[in-house]
Amino acid sequence: MQRSVLLVATVALLLALNPLSAPAQRFPTPARRARSVSYQCVLMVRSGDPAPGVRDDSVYAFFQEPVIADDGTIAFTGWIVSPTTQTFNTGLFAAKKPEKDRLIALAGRSLPRKDGFLMSFGRPALNKNGQVAFLAQFSDYSSAIYVHRYRVAEIGGGVPGVDDAWYSFLADPALNSRGEIAFGADYFTGTSFGGGVFTQERALAFDSDPIPGLPDVYLLTQGNVAWLGDEAIGYTALLSDGSQAVFGAGEIVIRTGDLAPDTDGQTVLFLDPGVAGNANGDIAYLAGLDTGARALYVNHHLVALEGTELRALPGSTLAQVFWPSSGTGMLDAQGNLVYAGLISTPENGIVGAGVFLSDRLIALTGQPVGDPQDGLTLLGIASPARVNSQGQIVFIGILSNGEEAIVAALPR
Q: How far is CA 335 from the centre of its chain?
A: 16
Whether residue 34 is predicted with pLDDT greater than 60 in this model: the reply is: no
Confidence of residue 19 (pLDDT cuts 50, 70, 90): very low
> Is pLDDT larger for residue 94 or for residue 97?
94
In the chain, the percentage of residues whose pLDDT exceeds 70 is 91
Confidence of residue 32 (pLDDT cuts 50, 70, 90): very low
Task: Taking residues 373-379, report their average pLDDT.
Answer: 95
| Domain 3-411 CATH class label | mainly beta
**Which pLDDT tens digit goes with each residue over 1-14?**
333 333 333 333 33
Q: Where are the alpha helices (DSSP H) in 255-412?
A: none
Confidence of residue 113 (pLDDT cuts 50, 70, 90): low
**Which pLDDT tens digit goes with each residue over 76-85?**
999 999 988 8
Task: Taking residues 332-348, report their average pLDDT.
Answer: 94
Helix (H), strand (E) at residue 45: strand 39-46
Long-range contacts formed by 337-341: CB under 8 A, 24+ apart: 337/276, 337/284, 337/296, 337/298, 337/303, 337/304, 338/362, 338/385, 338/386, 338/387, 338/393, 339/296, 339/303, 339/304, 339/384, 339/385, 340/24, 340/381, 340/383, 340/384, 340/385, 340/395, 341/304, 341/306
Query: For the whole model, what pTM was predicted?
Result: 0.87
Residue 199 pLDDT: 95
275, 331 Cβ separation under 8 angstroms: no
CA distance 319 to 345: 9
Mean residue pLDDT across the chain: 87
Q: Taken in order 133, 235, 327, 240, is the CA torsion positive or negative? A: positive
**Which pLDDT tens digit goes with each residue over 266-308?**
999 999 998 999 999 999 999 999 999 999 999 999 999 999 9
Residue 5 pLDDT: 33
**Which pLDDT tens digit goes with each residue over 95-109?**
988 888 899 999 988
- Domain ranges in the chain? 3-411
